[in-house]
Amino acid sequence: MMKSLTTALALICLLGAADAAAQTAEGLAAAEEAFVNLEYEAASEAAQQALESGGNSPSDTQRLYELIGLSASFLEDDSRAYDAYLRMLALNPDAEMDRSLPPTMRTPFLRARGWWSAQNERFSVSVEVADPGAPQPVRIALEMHDPLQLAASVRLRVRPAGAETYEDRDLQSGERRLMSSVPLEVGADVREVDYILEVRDAQSNVLVQRGTEMDPQRIENPRYEPPVLGGSVQGGSEVWEEWWFWSLIGGVVAGAALGVGLYFGLPPQLNGQTQVVFGL
């Protein structure tokens, strides 16, 4: 009963997500169409409206900022273009601008790239096992650098690899580091940890997405030690240290000895030798 209810709720969430994705795709498509038709004012407005509606994926969010920047450049609104390019480059530091555009149109982009180059830290989020030498439970550390204060919410979901449920932790506003204890049974050894990370802006556009329910990200636990079986660490002993190895050697030796004994105990005509008898 509980499993059926969980499945039904998951299907409802998937349908809701599909509907939201369709709406955000329409907003981006409208902005793209206006830009292709050289309607830069309309393209900028459509892109801005799509961002304000929220729910865009990281790649779509980046593209919407790019469309605003390009449209503003064509409209000679360098301040708006510069602001849009700052955000675009936060999400994709490797983004480039069409070199065929006039230098005056490229200036806001180059200024934005220069600003990021002068920063000590870029927009980034890292997830790793914290304090590898500490005892269990395993703790996961999330650290974020956000010079533009783009992120409004950060959710980290963690679980022992393969477990059914996640522990959800939210990074509070102004925090830069989040610690989360993975829920483990007493004495359990965990080789790997699954996690899902989602960073959203104030309009609920996704800035960073790592892992999904169906395909979570996975990190190794550096403190993992294989269980001890029979006085030796499983997988860590040499072959000659195993009981079955010496049992096998003993069986081979015993079999060989038996064969030799039988060989020399056979009658002459059967032991592989020819005997010549002289006399009567």
Q: Spell out the per-residue pLDDT of the chain, length 280, in tens.
A: 444 443 443 334 434 444 445 556 899 999 999 999 999 999 999 999 999 999 999 999 999 999 999 999 999 999 999 999 999 999 999 999 998 999 999 999 999 999 999 999 999 999 988 776 666 677 888 889 999 999 999 999 998 888 888 989 888 766 777 766 666 553 456 788 899 999 999 999 999 999 999 999 999 877 777 776 655 555 445 544 555 555 666 666 666 655 655 555 555 554 444 333 333 3
Determine the pLDDT at residue 272.
46
Report the predicted TM-score, pTM, of the whole model to 2 decimal places.
Answer: 0.71
Strands 228-229 and 217-220: unpaired
Q: Which domains does the chain have, with CATH numbers?
A: 2-117 (1.25.40.10), 124-226 (2.60.40.10)
